Amino acid sequence: MKAALYIRVSTEMQAEDGFSVEGQKARLFNFAQSQDWEIYDFYIDDGYSAKDLNRPDMQRLLADMEEQKFDVVLVYKLDRLTRSVADLHKLLKTFDQYGVKFKSSTEIFETTTAMGRFFITLVGAMAEWERETISERVRFGVEQMVVEGKRPGGVYPYGYTSEGKLIPEEKELIREVRGLYMSGMGYKSIAMKMNREGKLRRGSEWTAATVAYTIENPFYAGIIRLGSKTNKGTYANTKRDERVKCIYGEGDHEAVFTREEYEETKKFMERKTHGGYSRIKTYWFSGVLRCGRCGAAMFGKLTTKRMAGGETVRTPYYICANRHANSSCDMPIFRQVHIEHLMMEYIMSIRADSQLLAKESSALLKDQAKKTSEVDDAKRELARIVERKEKWQYMFVEGLISKEEVRKRITEEDEKEKEAKKKIAANEVSLSAIPKLEELAEMEELWPLIDDEEKKMVVFTLFKKITINTPLTNPKGVKNKFFEARIDEVLFN
């Protein structure tokens, strides 16, 4: 019998005896040997939470299971596999589907009977309860820090040093940005004016998103805010105070604005929102949204529905261009609020684990440096190819080589030139996918506060392409609910 040995270590468990990668590996190896099982492979997720199945080697294990590469999955303890009852049911159902057995080396489970399945579900529920209890304790501790005026870690915003000291030159720029906004200018206009005048944001250009974040951020008024999304990222059809739960505390850092100035700014923003600026005037994702099935653009349209009382309701949605033109694609229509929901889920998934995020960010930066170096090497090779071509032509003119020889040499150089250009193009596409993590965090906070034109501008500023997909072709379900869908690919500007 071939065994897949699955090992998971969350950051806080790495140092504990028996739960380390090597500790689990040794115990599982010995157990497999005692059962006379052949070890197919080790699947190791180092530093990943068990809150969901979105782990690299878990996904690899599931893919290998579909190809029937092993007969049993062995873990040290059930909670190494998952701490979610829903995910546990999903995994057990998948194991049954492919005829794969499940075994814990330290626990006795029997999944072939109703009582056995009940017992393993009960243990899974206890693991999920333990995870949620730990999460609640951590969240309570962070919230208490905010109430006491202590900043719970993280990077200080623009205007402050890494030690939290206010930078006078940047303070003046922040105050100027607020002054321009209060004079009636929009976020995009402010960004363009600041950039045109050379008043950059630490060497980077201002964008509509960074301007809005600067104006709205309560930290500049001496306030520490801890915000958490509710309803699992539901941003549609809810009031602002229902979708964002915030805790505020008085900070001890030097402020940029007075409390009165900040309250004045908030009231001004509210007047703009309720003055008619928040109605649908534009399609937020047009120009960047792509169909995950055929690759065509998805463009915005409006549906109009007249209600019983005479009121007209207009709903924006997106349709694949190929479906609209000739029905050659069967991608379903997506409401704009559904795309919004998927984007916010995507952003929250990236920011879910700060330590993992830091690790991924470091890896991306290393990858970026490597790809940039490869692009530079390829460009230097292109320059050398041009020089060599000129040399072969000169030698032909001087009678040093024959016509056939120069043609052969030029053909060889042309092939090298194509390869170099292909390498440059491939790496530049890869570089465009390195996420701007700070700007994504700003987008998540700002989104409920900005109007439609500004939302469109934020999307165009951050994203080059957003590809969506769904396994469904004709989704049906409860009214106003989102059907199963996902974001397949995001390319950043």
Q: Would strands 223-229 and 244-250 be described as parallel, antiparallel, or unpaired?
A: antiparallel
64 touches 41 (CB < 8 A): yes
- CA dist list (Å): 300 to 3, 320, 337, 455, 465: 50, 9, 12, 15, 15
Amino acid at residue number 41? D
Tokens matching residue 96:
């049954």
> What is the length of the chain?
493
200 touches 281 (CB < 8 A): no
Q: What is the 3-state secondary structure (H, E, C) of the chain?
A: CEEEEEEEECHHHCCCCCCCHHHHHHHHHHHHHHCCCEEEEEEEEECCCCCCCCCHHHHHHHHHHHCCCCCEEEECCHHHHCCCHHHHHHHHHHHHHCCCEEEECCCCCCCCCHHHHHHHHHHHHHHHHHHHHHHHHHHHHHHHHHHCCCCCCCCCCCCECCCCCECHHHHHHHHHHHHHHHCCCCHHHHHHHHHHCCCCECCECCCHHHHHHHHHCHHHHCEEEEEEECCCCCCCCCCHHHHEEEEEEECCCCCCCCHHHHHHHHHHHHHHHHHHHCCCCCCCCCCCEEECCCCCEEEEEEEEEECCCCCEEEEEEEEEHHHHHHCCCCCCCEEHHHHHHHHHHHHHHHHCCHHHHHHHHHHHHHHHHHHHHHHHHHHHHHHHHHHHHHHHHHHHHCCCCCHHHHHHHHHHHHHHHHHHHHHHHHHHHHHCCCCCHHHHHHHHHHHHHCCHHHHHHHHHHHEEEEEEECCCCCCCCCCCCCCCCEEEEEEEC
Active site residue 10: yes
Q: Which positions ≥6 away from 185 have C-beta within 8 Å? A: 193
Q: What is the dihedral of CA 61, 65, 67, 70, to 10 degrees?
A: 100
- CA dist list (Å): 276 to 222, 270, 273, 308, 484: 31, 11, 6, 24, 33
Which sequence positions are flagged as catalytic?
Answer: 10
